[in-house]
Structure 1
Amino acid sequence: MKIKLYFPVITGAIAVLSLAACNDDSLENIEPQQENQRIEQPNALEKVCYYVDQYWSSSAVLTTSLPTSTDTNFMNSQMTKIASLWGRSNPTLRFVNDPSNPNSTYNAISYSTGKIYYGYAIYADAKNKGGNIVNAMILAHEYGHQLQYIFGLPSVSESTARPNELEADGFAGYYLRRPAGYNQTSFAQIAAAYEFAQSIGDYQTTSAGHHGTPPQRRSAVRLGFLLGQYDLTASSFDYNFFYYYQGVLNGTYKMGKNSQNPEIDAYMSKYIDELRKIQSGEISAEEFKNLQ
């Protein structure tokens, strides 16, 4: 059963971390293989499961690869690891190119039919700003929507896409920490990925497509990272994510017991005040990057 969850509006400054990628793939350029297939535009349900925009341009084409074999192999291997972490088989991963309008591919969309389409432009920008880990984070976010389709998540709802998007951010943070996932146990190591996620947050809080404010998105990925201390199913993750996220936001934390995983409380109690300060903007961007 879905319950109504109303998140308060949180304002704060946005800090974008820009890092230079060190890999030189100039000797590994390959010719992307295009598929003679029309790109489906997302339906009403899928329009809440995009990373930046709801549509692809009419001139965009599907490909099975990115411009280099290194990048293609990285994304395909990450897709396998992400799905395997949740005990699932791979969804169909395809890339979107648009030579006539490259900026139109600054997007990634998860489809309810078991497909993820990932744009050339967002891949290149993410890698340039934070390295491979940023694209791993975005892909894990989009796969989080696959889990939502499969298991009927999230367990809360409101008039915007915010619960869906914040939970997908949480799924991404969880994957980045898990030993069988990206296996980054130091928060500082994945700060670039977090900063990229929060920089795409928005303040259109009454829009149906609202993804959450930048501070909310940062705190969601941080919470997912913290829950990565434990081996959880998708449904158990959903329960714990909203138990702590909702409790911190509206002050009801500890008014009800964590009935599914009471052992998590002792660990999470150390971070409740921190999560509140991230959501409110009290923790600065620089302090956020230095969290352990």
Structure 2
Amino acid sequence: IRPLLTGGAPWTVLGQSYGGFCATHYLCAAPEGLATVLITGGLPSLDATADEVYRAGYPRIARKVEAHYTRYPQDIARARAIVAYVAEHRPVLPTGYTLTPEAFQSLGILLGSGDGSHQLHYLLENAFVRTPSGPALSDAFQESVASALSFAGHPLYALLHEAIYAQGAGPTDWAAERVRGEFARFDAALTLAGEAPLYFTGESIHPWHFDSDPALRPLREAADLLAARADWPALYDPARLAANEVPVAAAVYHDDMYVDTAQSLRTARSIRGLRTWVTDEYEHDGVRASGPRVLDRLLALARGDA
């Protein structure tokens, strides 16, 4: 693609989130094609397994949930009431999506964006309507949840998400699902049996996604095959990164819910010449939410002007 667009000249790439993973691999595989690399919220660990990624991830998600409940304490009772209703009724949303407690908890993915806490709050605020048979989930709530949870527009995201952490360490074996069992606070059944707040989850894919979401059901066999695959190659070349000569600038968002900050900073120290901007002004979507600020800062860093 690059020779067709540039006539063979190196180009500048911008990698947001998983795009940063791709850009880091690009630095290893074909640095001669790169003039500059800009990365936002997407410096991957060079050697962490999928288990290690999620083991670091669930505590970050818990902090985001606790911060949300501090901002909106009324949502504690609302979330518990909704998950209790969902556990009893297992409603099928207008899209054919089967809403389970685990699926409802996955709305926590919103908490990784700048306005996500507000979005989640407004979603929970008017979840129920009164009916002759008692409270029921409103049509507006069901439509909003169906839109937020459906992978109809991006099924490959769900199919390949866990595989981006598979690098020479054997099968991922549904790592997010297995590691979740180590953190009892995310168990909705245990939550309902007691009085603790419901903990939402974040960016993780589980086997139940391929049962609940009609867009993913045809891909269940493929997802199981990917989870069982054992011959994943190494994704990154530490030696080439240590000898890097391409200007690289990276924005690392402090306590990013999607990408572990500590792992990102270790990688930043491993890439020769990389300039890092660590900020708590933005969440994972900073490059979109900030207008030109994040991109302008990265360009200035890459040029040596900042």
- TM-score of the two chains, using structure 1 as the length reference: 0.23
Higher helix share: 2
**Greater relative contact order: 1 or 2 (C-alpha under 8 angstroms, separation 6 or more)?**
2
- TM-score of the two chains, using structure 2 as the length reference: 0.22
